[in-house]
């Protein structure tokens, strides 16, 4: 039995969010929350929210024991990129790519 939570179209680059996701993969839920609490990255807040949602889904929808949960899978996929233009000298224009992410966390019971 597994419970899943996904956050889509998050305005953080997938590369930055993957650094945080790699810290919690395979850990039990209590330890994962402790790691996220003291991680000084902007992606830690997003991942914390998704993990909290996955634990709530497990508890309310599947009647799983919260103390026995662990992070079975956690990954970040790239979402659509917002394209912006920044004017430069001599009439040139540089592209600014604002990347988005889809964060997914799956928890299972031991």
- Domain with residue 34: its CATH number is 3.90.470.10
Local structure of residue 79 (DSSP, 8 states): -
Q: Residue 21 is part of which domain span?
A: 2-109
CA separation for the pair 87, 74 (Å, rounded): 38
Domain count, the chain: 1
CA separation for the pair 107, 57 (Å, rounded): 9
pLDDT in tens, 6-61: 999 999 999 999 999 999 999 999 999 999 999 999 999 999 999 999 999 999 99
Single out the residue of 9, 13, 47, 41 nearest to residue 29, CA to CA: 47
Residues 11, 21, 28, 35: is their CA dihedral positive or negative? negative
pLDDT in tens, 78-101: 999 999 999 999 999 999 999 999
Rounded to two decimals, the pTM is 0.91
CA separation for the pair 11, 18 (Å, rounded): 13
Which residue do the tokens 């402790």 mark?
Answer: 34
Check pLDDT > 90 for residue 4. Answer: yes
């Amino acid at each position: 039995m597994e419970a899943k939570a996904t956050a889509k179209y998050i305005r953080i680059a997938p590369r930055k969010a993957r650094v945080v996701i790699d810290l919690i993969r395979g850990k039990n839920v209590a330890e994962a929350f402790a790691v996220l609490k003291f991680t000084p990255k902007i992606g830690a807040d997003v991942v914390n929210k998704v993990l909290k949602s996955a634990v709530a889904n497990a508890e309310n929808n599947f009647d799983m024991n919260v103390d026995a949960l662990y992070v079975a899978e956690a990954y970040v996929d790239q979402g659509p990129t917002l394209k912006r233009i920044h004017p430069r000298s001599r009439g040139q224009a540089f592209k600014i790519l604002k990347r988005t992410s889809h964060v997914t966390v799956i928890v299972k019971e031991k």
